[in-house]
Structure 1
């Protein structure tokens, strides 16, 4: 009996050592893949500890996914060495509540839910630029705003032009935005209207830091004449807008580790708030997968995050994550 106990103890130690070796190997691969460097040995130890904890979160969640208990998977990505709260502080830059000033969305009179297409994907129509990367700058609001305007400009003029988020970061402070410290899509639309346009991405490339305004009138790629607000909290109206108007700017609650580490499937997070919104993204479609309705959402964290830079977010689920709480689009 004593010998059996000793053998079991040895086996347990061997498994633990093996698991630690695997984690170390994964950690080295993570640092190489995402070009991670740390200022000190102590910081690296801290980041490895967080990486280990996030790896455990992923493993436990995906075990539930394998049993059909949840509708989405998690995966390690470039944010795997960050705690959820510091991740949200760095990358989620939607600040403030909706301001008045936009027109109200009025769906076409002949449009009802039964007449809308079952699936919409504006990428397939050519109205969506490739996924971008905001870097370590809370400029999500700028990417959401440019994405919506890029779509509207394309649908009106037939030309898809990548627009400058850096232009918005550097130049729209007087309209209420605060560069890498956060802002609102509606304030971006106001700036673009008053400024008679926004420069192209090519002429005013993204830098992920606050800088001096370098807008040039001759480099304008698109403009707007105002913006439209969709009824707060109405996923019905949001669906009508996505189907009939194009890509729509929305604000969501993206403060959870499940969002940080999302990989694929229909994201369904019961803890998500419909009021505490901290991240600006772009709804570019909707559909149904595995019997679950979803919104097709473009993020601005590069293609290495999520499903090639996109996430499917639960639709018609009590406005989960506030997907319809602050939806808007520019008029062109």
Structure 2
């Protein structure tokens, strides 16, 4: 599952029933599906935990079956490695935390006036070879480091003509060193502030690989991969959809949104959610747009169907 918003389903939506519904009507078939799922995911639990995980699995399967039967739904949902996790375990895959950050006070632009920029109707940086492969943060709340790195990789490639894979681990180890564990969440702006204070530097991930845990800061001992450009800070984007699209036309963006319960079982299509409560909890990288969707690079591995190891 490399990207989130990827497909617009055209035409009249027809009422449908998910094949899962038939399975869930039979306790025996549901148990068979669960055992097959555990085999695919290489999961093994002791008896008491297995009963608990089965209840979570069945609840997830019921959700998937129901959502895939909704008329007019533009996304598909599926069972994946989140399907047997508790809510607390799922939240460990998030990590956006802007506590103490200054609010974005940029005014809403007066679009429709001469201020509106002339931008292309579609811009997908993936099609131009300026987006690195999807990575996995694991159950460390470090999404903010992946969004921070993703927000500069495309822009560095535009300037340098070379796509480099930069180090999330440098940010995870160094940004909050001595203050708190970076796996407990963070704010992308702090990444760029750290680099600016360190001379604009950031290592390549090959030189400073990701370990899924916060360790000692080794940034000063690793080669600086920022050769063609240096990180001097960040530029906030005004709080409007148009302002974000204009910025995205120039390069990738570090953004945050609210992951709701519906999102964990997402598989493909255009994901639309009206259940969010306006409390961002997850950071990702916006890497393109069309008339129908915004393309987003997540940090939950290349396949949600199975946990990356």
- In 1, the alpha carbon distance for the partners of 2:164 and 2:246 equals 25
| Equivalent position SS for 1:180 | coil
For the aligned residue pairs, the C-alpha RMSD in angstroms reads: 2.8
- In 2, the alpha carbon distance for the partners of 1:125 and 1:257 equals 33
Query: TM-score if structure 1 supplies the norm length?
Result: 0.76
Q: Per-residue CA shift, 1:116-164, capped at 9, x if unaligned?
A: 2222110111211000000110000000001111111111111111111
Bigger proportion of residues as strand: 1
- In 2, the alpha carbon distance for the partners of 1:194 and 1:130 equals 28
Following TM superposition, by how much is the alpha carbon of 1:175 offset from its aligned partner in structure 2, in angstroms? 9.6
| Residue matched to 1:330 | none
| Residue matched to 1:49 | 55
| Equivalent position SS for 1:280 | strand
Aligned 1:17-166 pairs, distance under 5 A: 19-38=26-45, 40-64=46-70, 67-68=71-72, 70-83=73-86, 85-97=87-99, 99-100=101-102, 112=116, 115-166=118-169
In structure 2, relative to structure 1, the CA distance for the partners of 1:110 and 1:298 (3 Å cut) is: farther
In structure 2, relative to structure 1, the CA distance for the partners of 1:19 and 1:101 (3 Å cut) is: closer
Show structure 1 runs of 5+ residues with no match: 1-14, 310-332
Contact 1:120 1:287 in 2 (8 A): yes
2:244 to 238, 251, 260: 238
In structure 2, relative to structure 1, the CA distance for the partners of 1:87 and 1:253 (3 Å cut) is: farther
| Equivalent position SS for 1:221 | coil
Query: Matched residue pairs, number?
Result: 278
Query: TM-score if structure 2 supplies the norm length?
Result: 0.81
| Residue matched to 1:283 | 286
Q: Which of structures 1 and 2 has the bigger CA Rg? A: 1
Deviates most, 177-186 or 26-35: 26-35
Bigger proportion of residues as helix: 1
- In 1, the alpha carbon distance for the partners of 2:243 and 2:288 equals 13
Aligned 1:301-312 pairs, distance under 5 A: 301-305=300-304
Show structure 2 runs of 5+ residues with no match: 1-21
In structure 2, relative to structure 1, the CA distance for the partners of 1:17 and 1:176 (3 Å cut) is: closer
| Equivalent position SS for 1:257 | coil
| Equivalent position SS for 1:173 | coil
Following TM superposition, by how much is the alpha carbon of 1:20 offset from its aligned partner in structure 2, in angstroms? 2.5
